[in-house]
Amino acid sequence: MMYWWNGTGAWWMWLMMVLFWGAVIFLIVWGIKKLSERPGAGGGSSALDIAKERYAKGEISQEEFEKIKKNLS
């Protein structure tokens, strides 16, 4: 029998097991999240989309929006 486990090394094995399974769960969740993302979603807005948003918010005038749109086309 292995009596050296009682009290001396058992806590280390529990810690390693918790860290291992925590890393496995984290990687699974991260992978599922990455695979379920739509391409082009998030921070990848085009310049024209940004100009449309700024125009809708009233940050730029219609003339400025038309100039930007003309320059981007």
Domain extent listing, the chain? 1-37, 42-73
Cβ proximity of 37 and 12 under 8 Å? no
Cβ proximity of 72 and 47 under 8 Å? yes
pLDDT of residue 41 exceeding 60: no
Q: What pLDDT score does 5 carry?
A: 56
Task: Please tell me the pTM assigned to this model.
Answer: 0.44
Which tens digits make up the pLDDT trace of 5-31? 556 667 778 889 999 999 999 999 999
Please count the other Cβ atoms lying within 10 Å of the Cβ belonging to residue 55: 17
pLDDT of residue 67 exceeding 60: yes
User: What whole-number distance in Å separates Cα of residue 51 and Cα of residue 60?
Assistant: 8
